[in-house]
Amino acid sequence: MKQVLKNLRDGRTIVADVPVPTPGPGMVLVRNFASLVSVGTERMLVSFAEKSLLGKARARPDLMRQVWEKVRREGVVTALETALNRLDQPIALGYSSAGIVVEVGEGVRDLHPGDPVACAGGGYAVHAEYVVVPRLLVTRLPEGVDFESGAFVTLGAIALHGFRLADTQLGETVAVIGLGVLGLLTLQIAKASGCQGLGIDVDPWRVEKGRMLGLMAVPRTDAESTGRALTQGRGFDAVIICADTPSNDPVELAGHLARDRGRVVAVGAVGLELPRKLYYEKELSFVVSRSYGPGRYDPAYEEKGQDYPLGYVRWTEGRNLEAVANLIGAGLLDVKSLITHRFPIDAADQAYTLITTKGADPSLGVLITYPQSEQFLPSTKRINLRPPKEPLVSKVRLGVLGAGNYATAVFLPMIRSFNEVEKVGIVSMSGLHARHAAEKFGFAFASSDENEIWQDATINTVAILTRHNHHARQVEQALTHGKHTFCEKPLAITWEEVERLEALLCSEDLPLLTVGFNRRFAPLAERLKAFLANRGQPMHVYYRVNAGYLPPNHWLHDLHQGGGRLIGEGCHFVDFLIYLIGNSPTSVEAVSLPDNGVYREDNFTLMYEFADGSVGLVSYLANGHKSYPKERIEVFCEGKIAILDDFRTLEIVVEGRRQVFRQPMRQDKGHRGLWGAFMQAITTTGQPPIPYDQILGVTKATLAAREALRTRRRTEI
């Protein structure tokens, strides 16, 4: 299928062929008929993308500070690679579309193939022939509402939510500043609600457009005088700002237009330096409207489909979408008159040239349209980027599941330097990221269907880089399909998954498995291990992790998706204890700081005991700051001391003599070392690079630690 993308590095707008996405649970696959370009929001994104690197740095000084902090922590090379990788990610444009349902995911029962719908959401209702959208961001179109009109539903919901925040009542007066699509929709909603409205804009063409719709509209210069006459000198009950400008003029004008104790709502992106004297003397209420309504940016609502009870939250974003669709169907919102341009998707770049070029034809509703074929859904969700090469027996022929940040920033750049790897295919559910990664890193095909990996006989090795809840299932699938398997940590997030995998790993003639416990393969870690070799006494190992804060709604905190940070990330550090000490722990005790509504069980200390008497501690802390180095390991044993600081310096002390080893230009946490060892195991030795008892031991040790943390009791492993 075709999709419109923006390249953040060079600013180009491209129409790319990407795999049709696959709907997961609670998702809906829709074939688009039309999508609406948001002239304000998308113009800002496009303008940022078209800036030079220096221009981007000036526009986002907050991101530049993050880069400099990463330079100090991890070195120039690592920071530069990370920054360039972020800029290289394609941005999917668009967030308002309409089309026909072609497939629904598990749990969706009230929509069916063939239903006409409107879709919303950045990253979901994008400019593409097919889109996957969460159920609560999809609303059925009433009879008689065509798809071009349906493409306006999302922007209508934004306007409706802003209008609701103004708390207007029948007969009140409403001023709308800014007569783009949002402003004209808001003014029509005010009229449909029995309010007397006045639209204001600096552009005479837009003012005239409002008048053609039967609305009262005036230029900026006449706003205050007309407003006084219309409100008999009292001022407007509510002022809704729909302008798009960094200027503070809209909020100043709103203060002059509003009545005493009036309400001002900012829907558009405008300057927000409020004139205190003006707002103080009238005691004005000021609110910044957040998108389509309650539920926006809440993963539980948008991604998991957990609707808010109607009795408590009458107008969620989903119900606002439904209300706008009904207003259009009832003829109370005229959106067809707002359409000024249509572009077929193949010419989508012309749409962005139009909205970003000064002096171009005036525009309001700019639509992207899509060709409609007889075929309801393509027969395959795979696209081939190059012919497959003749497979060589000695080569690792790789298929990859997942194309997120870890894949594109760490794993795929690392394997690119291994000539022995034949890159066959890469899969992600969205299809877009698979297409980008496949093209950038030289894979033969991209797909949104993981069955393409299992069924491809040329693939002998699979890398699983998906979210944690998929790992155990995909490891089972890969091994039972006869493919060597690399699983980015963790191996599993439940006891049931561990038990199934432990039974599977007892099978004979099974392909090789390894997990991404890379730190044990770091050069400084191997030097540390050698320093502690042939010990005759137990050791004490302390591993401190300055992990940094993650917001409570991050997917890693979700026990069903990420397993929590102890399971999802803590396994790295438990594995390092096992690597240094040489065997799995026998028991664990755990304590943590109180969450206090801010954290999610991610400030804890684990104390492990080992059969040889060694003790290992992991302190994982989210309450620090990322400007400080992340990881520090201290080891005491037989008069020897070793300190490994963030995998950049290793200090060893024995009998008063001190040596320091450094990685000056970049961190090396062992990603390359682990993959090299796995490749050697596949092609030469046949032995897993990490013993299976240790891989399973790590998973059991972290699951036991979570039990110990919650019960505050010592837990046997």
Tell me the per-residue pLDDT of 209-248, one tens digit each, with 9 for 90 and over. Answer: 999 999 999 999 999 999 999 999 999 999 999 999 999 9
How far apart (Å, rounded) are the C-alpha atoms in residues 590 and 364? 60
How far apart (Å, rounded) are the C-alpha atoms in residues 698 and 493? 11
Q: Does position 117 have pLDDT exceeding 70, yes or no?
A: yes
Q: Which of 114-128, 379-393, 397-411 has the lowest mean pLDDT?
A: 379-393
Contact 677, 688 (CB under 8 A): no
407 contact partners, CB below 8 Å, separation of at least 6: 400, 437, 465
- pLDDT for 56: 46
Q: Does position 77 have pLDDT exceeding 70, yes or no?
A: no
Q: How does the average pLDDT of the chain come out, rounded?
A: 91
Q: Is the dihedral of CA 258, 260, 266, 271 positive or negative?
A: positive
Q: Which of 230-234, 388-392, 413-417, 649-653 has the lowest mean pLDDT?
A: 388-392
Give the mean pLDDT of 499-519: 95
Q: To the nearest 10°, report the CA torsion of 150, 153, 156, 158.
A: -160
DSSP letter at 245 equals: B
Q: What is the pLDDT of residues 633-682, one digit of tens each?
A: 999 999 999 999 999 999 999 988 999 999 877 889 999 999 999 999 99
Give the mean pLDDT of 77-81: 56
> Hey, what amino acid is at 546?
N
Q: Does position 709 have pLDDT exceeding 50, yes or no?
A: yes
Q: What is the pLDDT of residues 334-343, one digit of tens each?
A: 999 999 999 9
Q: How many CB atoms lie within 10 A of CB 263?
A: 22
Burial class (CB in 10 A: 0-12, 13-18, 19+), 684: exposed
How far apart (Å, rounded) are the C-alpha atoms in residues 217 and 187? 9
Look-up of token digits 């700051």: 625
**β-pair partners for 265:** 240, 287
Q: To the nearest 10°, report the CA torsion of 531, 663, 673, 71.
A: 140
How far apart (Å, rounded) are the C-alpha atoms in residues 210 and 249? 21
Q: What is the pLDDT of residues 189-203, one digit of tens each?
A: 999 999 999 999 999
Cα–Cα separations (whole angstroms), residue 389 to 10, 210, 434, 442, 710? 32, 60, 19, 12, 52
Give the mean pLDDT of 416-439: 91
N- to C-terminal Cα distance for the chain? Answer: 50
* Helical axes 204-212 vs 181-192, angle rounded to 10°: 30
What does pTM read for this prediction?
Answer: 0.86
Q: Does position 57 have pLDDT exceeding 70, yes or no?
A: no
Helix (H), strand (E) at residue 643? strand 640-645
